[in-house]
Amino acid sequence: MTLTCTLCKLEFNNEDQFGQHLEGKRHKKIESIKEERENSAKRSLFVSGLKKDTFIKQLEDHFIKFGKINKIVTDNEKNSYAIIEFEEQRSVDLALDCQEHIVNGKKMKISRREMKKFVSKISSGHEKKKELMNSLREEAVALNTLMGKCGSFDEQIDKLVEYFKLSDQDAELRHEVKNKLVNIFSQFWSKEEFSVEIFGSSFTNLACKGSDMDLSILFKQYKIDNQLRQLKQPKVVAKQIKNGKNDSTDSNMESEEIEEEVDLEDENEEEEHSLKEDVKKFFNDKKYEDFLKFDLEHQIKILSRVIQRFYYDIKSLKTITNTRCPVVRFHNDKINTNCDLSLNNFLACENSRLLKLYLELEPSLKNTIFVLRYWFRQKNLYSTNKFNSYTIMWMLIFYLQTKRIVNLPKVEDLAKITNKVNEIHGWNCAFEDDISKIKPAFMPNSSVLTTQNDLLKGFFEFYSQFSFEKEIILTRNANTVSLEKKTQLSKVSQFVNIQDPFDLSHNLTVNIPKSILERFKFECKGSSELLQYGHEPKRSANKGWGMILLTTKKSLPVNNNHKDLVEKSFINLKIEDPKKIPDNISLRKAIDFVMFLLTECLLFQKLDQDTIQEKPKKRTRILNQICDKVDSLGLNCSPKRLRTGHGSQDPNRPAQTYVCVIDESLNNNCEVEFEPDEAKTLASYYLSVVKNTWQGRRAVKRDLIKTVTGLNDLEIERITSEKLFENSKDKPVNFKIQFSFSEEFLNENNGKNLSNLNIKFDLLNGEDQTKRQEELINFTSL
């Protein structure tokens, strides 16, 4: 039975999960927001028939006589209507009783505000994701139809670029948005004080139809003050991001941006008062020179008020403040795209100038970028907490420079040959941009870039084999450095690390989780196998070929089956160097400790071996070899079954309560050798998860830590499990845990120098428990 939360638009498989969701912070927060919106609507008036030049102050002066006003929101597009929210509902009744309302010389119509159907950001996010997937599917069908008619691989790429790129007219319209903003802001500052610059894909001519437009308002005084004070971003010791998480999760849920309507309805009273004072200074006292003295968040919100008041051709005006670079976001209907306006984003503008220079030095890279960006998107590798256009561009440049496919100069070399000085936040952002000086120095011979086929083949092959888990990519000097070495990166991930060429503390890929990296390398390998050096894909009249096959071939299954689930459960446990400990005590302690965690802390229950139905299998030569190695570790066991003896005085043996079985299913019951990478099973333990002790675990543990002191970590985990155990009603899930050795175990000094213990979970229940099995695997692996 599937249970649905209509408020959050989420589905749950059982009542326990549903109940925990209803008690969760996110659901309760959405409930409170809904209730607050409903109360706000009851205290609000809808005012229509405004003159276009009506100001909020005029509305406030008129309606204040009916009661204290919380806020006033006006129509961003035509300024034809407004919403007046009072502190008390009776103020609405008083205003409605008044027969005539005249503001700015025009009679207005007023009515009670109607509450629109409440849609939470979570549920709207799900709907947007569905819409996006449908549009991507339709887009792929249309594009594949066009590419299927092409006669060659290069022609397909040209067709793809033509399909996505902006027309000259669209590009011109984007510049009109920039000019409009310049005219608006010039009412407050002289054009010598500031400039509005386009950056990102709209500047490098890599923008697609409908893609966001990035702009920044740059104040010259800010840069001067910045250089004088030599403000440098703090060089902190790189922090290891465990499990690839940095305020994000390795899941399908993307990190949320805090979007605020410009009416600031969610701000607390103190913050709202502070902002109102800043706005008053800005608009009423004409103290525009004080703008840069306000904190960054207030600066962004003041800019949003300016745009709201003077830019009529926009809608959906928001401020987004919890990102690395806060922005004002609005939608421009004329170009049908979202525009993000940031403040003093000098670094991003310099990055865009640099990338545009590389595209001018090697124009054919433009087509490659369009292809790669489409490939990443079709493989579901392109979005928040995944790869973005900027990162993909630097990955391509790094590949070309590393393999010396084309003589693209390094950023470091461009900085050495320039006489310019350009320091931003303490980082050297100067580089030579005069092509007439660059080409003689670094590109004396005009060489033709390899074919698109070979370039893509090389890119996919290179990154399918790249050791992301060991190396940091340094884009400034086109080099790599070991992950263990200290760099200027402020945050280091265990999975993907690519350093920005200017801001050396910025890790472009710090939020990419392990699952995305694994999928990327897997997809790279598959795409590399579809292409061949020197041989372009041949045209096929009756099936997909070339770019169609490259971007639509499904390398990974949509739904994980039981086998995939088991493969996900493979863990490699690094234990203390056994060379320092006699008789491999560390190995036995590691096994014993894992079992202690599962049974004593998580309350998984042991199963009697007699209840497990396994067919007797023939002993093999390899099995005998493993049994000999087990005996050499001091675990004295029979080849078929191992039980620790009652009354044993050896403290290093696994606990007595466990059933340990030597797995005789090795080699599929054959007398052949193992494959080189196949693990050798040492022992198996059968356990049963009687109650769900992972759903809602984090919240219970957090409350426990707040209320109880003096407990160690293991005691906290055990008590948390006991609390969850009391309320769970789930059916048992049985599984087998296997401890095994890698191939080196049988070859190194009679197996006594093992430093890695492989652990694998093998689920025993039927398909009806697939969902719970997957939850169990994910939780136990963590």
At 173, the pLDDT band (50, 70, 90 cuts) reads very high
Residues of the chain by 3-state class (helix, strand, coil), percent to 5:
45, 15, 40
Q: 75, 90, 112 — which closes off a domain?
A: 112
414-428, 536-550, 718-732, range with the lowest pLDDT: 718-732
Q: What is the rounded distance in angstroms from the CA atom of residue 709 to the CA atom of residue 358?
A: 59
CB 211 within 8 A of CB 200: no
> For position 391, what pLDDT does the model report?
96
Which residue has better confidence, 185 or 598? Answer: 185
> For position 126, what pLDDT does the model report?
65
Is the pLDDT confidence value at 242 over 60? no
Q: 112, 139, 163 — which closes off a domain?
A: 112
Which residue has better confidence, 170 or 761? Answer: 170
398's enclosing H/E stretch is helix 389-402
Q: Is residue 143 part of a domain?
A: no
Is the pLDDT confidence value at 653 over 50? no
CB 557 within 8 A of CB 564: yes
CB 355 within 8 A of CB 207: no
Note down the domain range covering 13: 3-112
What is the domain count for the chain?
2
Residue type present at position 474: L
What does R_g of the chain's alpha carbons equal in angstroms?
A: 32
> For position 220, what pLDDT does the model report?
87
Is the pLDDT confidence value at 465 over 80? yes
Q: Is residue 557 part of a domain?
A: no
pLDDT per position as a tens digit, 707-760 = 888 888 888 888 888 888 776 666 667 777 777 765 544 444 444 444 566 777
Is the pLDDT confidence value at 639 over 50? no
* The pairing of beta strand 491-493 with beta strand 239-241: parallel
Q: What is the rounded distance in angstroms from the CA atom of residue 469 to the CA atom of residue 466?
A: 9
Is the pLDDT confidence value at 226 over 80? no
Between the ranges 96-100, 245-249, 588-592, 721-725, where is the mean pLDDT highest? 96-100
> For position 314, what pLDDT does the model report?
85
> For position 737, what pLDDT does the model report?
77
Q: Is residue 734 part of a domain?
A: yes
Q: Is residue 452 part of a domain?
A: no
Largest CA distance in the chain: 100
Q: Is residue 205 part of a domain?
A: no
Instruction: Report the pLDDT averaged over residues 319-332.
Output: 87
Q: Is residue 687 part of a domain?
A: yes
25-39, 430-444, 586-600, range with the lowest pLDDT: 586-600
Q: 42, 77, 112 — which closes off a domain?
A: 112
> For position 662, what pLDDT does the model report?
31
Is the pLDDT confidence value at 153 over 90? yes
Which residue has better confidence, 452 or 126? Answer: 452
CB 404 within 8 A of CB 445: no
Instruction: Report the pLDDT averaged over residues 507-513.
Output: 93
pLDDT per position as a tens digit, 302-313 = 898 889 888 888
CATH number of the domain at 56, please.
3.30.70.330
Contacts by 649-653, CB closer than 8 A, 24 or more apart? 652/583, 652/585, 652/588, 652/589, 652/592, 653/588, 653/592
Is the pLDDT confidence value at 435 over 50? yes
Q: Is residue 610 part of a domain?
A: yes
Q: Is residue 540 part of a domain?
A: no
